[in-house]
Chain A
């Protein structure tokens, strides 16, 4: 297994606290990395460091053999980030939001309707995001992930606000992505039922 994404000896300090030190892992294609830990243990910070938003005190994150600090554009091209906040404009409609996003990163699937159908929100597409419930907004965020051509999915608590069907949907989507050769790093509170080779990283 050639590791496509690897972290070597990461140390992260936020404010006065050292969140973690000496953290390392290696992730190959088709694999899922699950981050577990209590609230405030640094899961989100680790994810944000992996996404490239936070600077590490020490250590290096390597994607496809290149440290991401040096090959930023290439790394961003290969990833999609599903944060805790959905990151969509409340005043714009679903479609307007996704259309904007398709100018931001490579898109694998220009057929919006099919993806929205899959997520069960096709009938909502003309409504402004403000009118959608939290769970529905989360599904729109999932559309961003599904539409992208990214190999690496980075997801922070993707199950938030979703009902049982929604959670099952996430399991399915991620499972399918992994079996197609994609990769995923996920921070999750609840049990995840995804049928794929999984590594677990527990943060104290």
Chain B
């Protein structure tokens, strides 16, 4: 078991492994998203309260979920890199940041679009989830800005890992405080689908979208980490050998 993990931590081994793994994530992911999108748009019945407007949850919920997951991956990878000094972990953290930020942005846009028919406006400060997502976007920007300001890669890795860990500890607190803040104002309808329990015809496409998006996220992350590893190790012997060898390009 330790030998496997040790092997995993080696950049050249991971580089090859990620290449073979990525399609196994991407193909099921795309298939699930295809099913989820179709079923979500055409098969699931309209919501008794929101009509067809609720259908955006099929994009919004996976995006919001992945935006949080992305930050957690960033923080955990950073922590592993910091404590166990694993270079690959730092590469994962660097690679996931823009990906997570993009999904956060997507969650915000879809959340705003969802809100328009319900609130009548493109933005409602009273909605705690939307406000929390916005703060999460700022956290991502701060992380990427810190990374960008430090020239030396090793130093940037360590500093941003500390920041990500501090942010991860604060995220539950931010959520709780924004919930409390919005609860002080009555009258802001929250973004959620109506009904005591979700109809299974509504639920299955949602689960498919969540799972499919996660798999696709994983596939993208693997590819991004590969690129990140290649860049970081560009001066090492194994990269040079790989580029110069006569076999097909990686």
Are A and B in direct contact (Cβ within 8 Å)? Answer: yes
Residues of A within 8 A of B (CB): 13-16, 55
Which B130-154 residues sit within 8 Å CB-CB of chain A? Answer: 151-152, 154
Cβ contacts A to B, 6 pairs, < 8 Å: A13-B154, A14-B152, A15-B151, A15-B152, A16-B235, A55-B154
B151 contacts across to A, CB distance below 8 A? 15
Bound Cα distance A120, B151 (Å): 43
A55 contacts across to B, CB distance below 8 A? 154
B152 contacts across to A, CB distance below 8 A? 14-15
A14 contacts across to B, CB distance below 8 A? 152
Nearest neighbor of B235 in chain A, beta-carbon distance:
A16
Bound Cα distance A16, B152 (Å): 8
B235 contacts across to A, CB distance below 8 A? 16
Nearest neighbor of A57 in chain B, beta-carbon distance:
B154
Q: Mark B91-135, 1 if CB is under 8 A from A, else 0.
A: 000000000000000000000000000000000000000000000
Main secondary structure of the interface of B (DSSP, over half): loop
Least Cβ–Cβ distance between B147 and chain A, in angstroms: 15
Bound Cα distance A13, B153 (Å): 11
Bound Cα distance A14, B154 (Å): 9
What 4 pairs between A and B have smallest CB-CB spacing?
A15-B152, A15-B151, A14-B152, A16-B235
Contact size class for B?
Answer: under 10
Nearest neighbor of A13 in chain B, beta-carbon distance:
B154
Least Cβ–Cβ distance between A147 and chain B, in angstroms: 33
Nearest neighbor of A14 in chain B, beta-carbon distance:
B152
Bound Cα distance A55, B235 (Å): 20
Least Cβ–Cβ distance between B188 and chain A, in angstroms: 50
B154 contacts across to A, CB distance below 8 A? 13, 55
Bound Cα distance A16, B231 (Å): 12
Bound Cα distance A49, B166 (Å): 27
Bound Cα distance A16, B154 (Å): 10
A13 contacts across to B, CB distance below 8 A? 154
Bound Cα distance A15, B152 (Å): 5
Bound Cα distance A44, B152 (Å): 17
Nearest neighbor of B152 in chain A, beta-carbon distance:
A15
Nearest neighbor of B234 in chain A, beta-carbon distance:
A16
Nearest neighbor of A16 in chain B, beta-carbon distance:
B235
Nearest neighbor of B151 in chain A, beta-carbon distance:
A15
Which B25-53 residues sit within 8 Å CB-CB of chain A? Answer: none
Bound Cα distance A105, B152 (Å): 31
Bound Cα distance A13, B152 (Å): 10
Bound Cα distance A16, B234 (Å): 11
Bound Cα distance A13, B154 (Å): 10
A16 contacts across to B, CB distance below 8 A? 235
Nearest neighbor of A18 in chain B, beta-carbon distance:
B235
Bound Cα distance A16, B153 (Å): 9
Least Cβ–Cβ distance between B101 and chain A, in angstroms: 27
Least Cβ–Cβ distance between B37 and chain A, in angstroms: 45
Bound Cα distance A16, B232 (Å): 10
Which B211-238 residues sit within 8 Å CB-CB of chain A? Answer: 235
Bound Cα distance A15, B155 (Å): 9
Least Cβ–Cβ distance between A38 and chain B, in angstroms: 22
Least Cβ–Cβ distance between A153 and chain B, in angstroms: 28
Nearest neighbor of B85 in chain A, beta-carbon distance:
A55
Bound Cα distance A14, B235 (Å): 14
Bound Cα distance A16, B151 (Å): 10
Bound Cα distance A145, B108 (Å): 58
Q: Mark B199-215, 1 if CB is under 8 A from A, else 0.
A: 00000000000000000
Bound Cα distance A42, B165 (Å): 33
Least Cβ–Cβ distance between A12 and chain B, in angstroms: 11
Bound Cα distance A55, B87 (Å): 14
